[in-house]
Amino acid sequence: MAGLEGKVALITGAGGMRGVGRASALKLAAQGAEVAITDVQRDASDLPPGEIREEWRGIHSVSEEVEALGRRCLPLYCDLGDGEQIEGLVEQVKSHFGRIDILVNNARAIIGRDKASVTELEREVWDHFLAINTTAVFLCTKLVGQDMVARGEGGRIINIASNAAKQASAMGAAYSASKFAVLGLTQASALDLAPYNITVNAVCPGPINTDRMSYWEREQAAGRGMSLEEFRGRIVRDAGERTPLGRIAEAEDVANMVAFFASEEASFITGQAYNVNGGLLFH
């Protein structure tokens, strides 16, 4: 794929040590892009054991890795549930770099509390998932899209959706609804922005081996007298056995698709939702 020299990428949800945001930041930087990364400031209780053990510093650790590749990186904290903070985020990135060419809407709500039957799902949990997984994607798309249109040089918007955006499951109403909405937003935005040479696409991963916190996994591990890492290891193993290609995705598998959508080679692809799931789901 052609390089991304001279391009600036904004990636949300990029502070996890094994996350898609970090992998995408490193992949785009390796291809020449300057990078702005953001995440929410997480309490220690919301950190995976591996990050605590490695004294991982979130977006600041990722920023150092990007800079080690010879690219500039701007780490910014932002609560994506707050529209004013999103506006401030976009303005800071524009002020620092002068432009945004690539937007990767990667952040998601921490899963686990949404794992309830629709009749038992708390309204507060529903609202939180829609705010982070859907409304924040809309606001980032709107604000960055406005800048791309004004500059008249095209752009790339890449939304990280999910298998759950195409096929729901029991006890997944909030997550699936929020991700189904991302695909509708992707298609509508692609049509709205096509006259300005701005493409909008979605990546739909299946299970990913990211180690991001799951409240449900933590509760299940405690109930079985197991460590969170041991319980998660079983989930990864079992999910891999159910996957035709024999493993679940690594963050880099998703980042590879992000990099493709960001490239010139993908300039005639828009409004699409590409699966990265090892054959679990085909449509």
Report in angstroms the alpha-carbon separations of 38 from 15, 124, 166.
7, 24, 27
1 pLDDT higher than 60: no
Whether domain 8-213+249-274 has CATH 3.40.640.10: no
Domain boundaries, the chain: 8-213+249-274
- Residue 213: per-residue pLDDT: 64
For CA atoms 39, 43, 44, 48, the dihedral sign is negative
Mean pLDDT taken over the chain: 94
- Residue 2: per-residue pLDDT: 58
- What is the tens place of the pLDDT at every residue in 15-71? 999 999 999 999 999 999 999 999 999 887 778 888 888 999 999 999 999 999 999
Strand partners, 103: 10, 157
Helix axis angle, 215-223 to 228-242, nearest 10°: 110
State the Cα torsion 184-19-266-281 to the nearest 10°.
Answer: -60
- Which residues are marked as active site? 175, 179
Report in angstroms the alpha-carbon separations of 1 from 32, 65, 156, 242.
12, 22, 15, 32
The secondary structure of residue 109, as a DSSP letter, is: P
- Residue 45: per-residue pLDDT: 76
- Residue 111: per-residue pLDDT: 82
The answer to whether the pTM exceeds 0.85 is yes
